Amino acid sequence: MTDLAIRAENLGKRYRIGGRKKGYRTLQETILNMASAPGRLLRRRIPDEEIFWALREVSFEMRQGDVLGVIGRNGAGKSTLLKVLSRITEPTEGFAEVRGRIASLLEVGTGFHPELTGRENIFLNGAILGMKRTEISRKFDEIVDFAGSDAFIDTPVKHYSSGMYLRLAFAVAAHLEPEILVVDEVLAVGDAEFQKKCLGKLTDVSREGRTVLFVSHNMSAISSLCNQGIVMDHGRIAFEGTAQEAVSLYLEGNTRVQTAADLSGVRHKGTGKARLQNITLLSEHPDGSFPKMGDDIAFTVQVRALAEIRNATLCLFIYDHLGSRIIDATTAMLRQTISLQAGEESTWRFDLYDVLLRPARYQIELSLVTEGIEVYDWVQEALAFDVLLDSQNTYGVWDYPGSYRCRFNISRVEVNEMNGASGTSANQG
């Protein structure tokens, strides 16, 4: 078909791992090899190396103007697929047909020559794309302005920081008008402001009708930017459909053991006068599924005092995939304190209301401290949980309030109330 941009047919990429390099044998090895020859005839030969398929039976099509999001766990084959499509590595089997000029941003500085200046690399990359010098010159100022590298544009890029490298590499790939743009998870290197800028540019590129192949662990970006999505697992395509369907399936498939965490086996910091024992995410849905955008979210945290503690503060912090702290919920914010006798246990329920979190994975940090900032216990990675996409309310990347502050309530759960309403509590608005 004339509007076909990419067609992959039974793509496979095989690597040999763990193999011993062939070389000269020592005299001792030769004698031992001859002595063991009869025995080798009686048993199956053990291979010197293992075969690893990074891709297997991968088939899909992209039409001009499609924006395809590729998601999956680390090691699922996403980057290998992009390298095959970008002609960086050849497939072991199958074939890929790519129609149009393709620009790839797979790693920081891919396609840059370290000894050349930023200016020289811009013109080099344009020439590789088949552009004339006059075409590149028209885009030059726009590229430099986007990258913010005007002060270093005549400096060899080997002296650039990773952030400078990334900004210029992305600016070159996005502004030199390739017909197909391939972007791997390089945006994770930049700061939040740069990521927002890059996602905005990718949106512009897609609106211009160019084809984009985008790998990311940012599920909200995939949902908003892409119209199609594939989920990869162990080198194969596990799902192909709309981007929102792919994101929902991926998040649901990675949340089976994340509803509760026993903290006895994780790393603790602090004086040890008290112990954070476990944390549980309470589902508000009848089917036990994870929270969706805009849902109320509830957690219970169990604490055990190993010595007497007085007027302590229990803190629950939520971090996004960039490591930014986006929600604080503490007993001190509600003017509550926790006092326990040695050996006493208590369970505390955190209720967070109207939580507008993007579909993504989030990390919870817990701590129990005093007003004098004595840390009784502190667990940095207590629980990871996912927020799912709500099919009834699909938000764009920037289409809802950027502040993550929400109303919350913290209450002590009595033993006979573990499955019912909680006890005396206070609210924070």
For 311-340, the pLDDT digits (tens) are 999 999 998 866 678 899 999 999 999 999
Paired tokens of 64? 């001009």
pLDDT per residue as tens digits for the range 348-367: 999 998 787 877 778 899 99
Mean pLDDT: which of 106-120, 279-293, 331-345, 381-395 is highest? 331-345
In order of their start, the domains of the chain are 4-38+48-253 (3.40.50.300), 260-428 (2.70.50.60)
pLDDT (tens digit per residue) in 142-165: 999 988 888 899 999 889 877 788
Question: Whole-angstrom Cα distance, residue 116 to residue 121?
Answer: 6
Region of poorest pLDDT, from 59-63, 247-251, 281-285, 317-321: 281-285
Q: What is the percent of the chain with per-residue pLDDT over 90, rounded to a whole number?
A: 34
The predicted model scores a pTM of: 0.57
Q: How confident is the model at residue 255 (pLDDT cuts 50, 70, 90)?
A: very low
Position with higher pLDDT, 3 vs 185: 3
As a whole number of Å, the end-to-end CA separation of the chain is: 57
Instruction: Give the pLDDT of residue 238.
Output: 92
Model confidence over 2-20: pLDDT tens digits?
689 999 999 999 998 765 4
pLDDT of 112-121, one tens digit each? 888 999 999 8
Identify the pLDDT of residue 338: 95
* pLDDT class of 420 with cuts at 50, 70, 90: very low
Give Cβ neighbours of residue 109 (< 8 Å, ≥ 6 apart). 157, 160, 165, 166, 169
What is d(CA 97, CA 140) in angstroms, rounded to the nearest whole number?
31
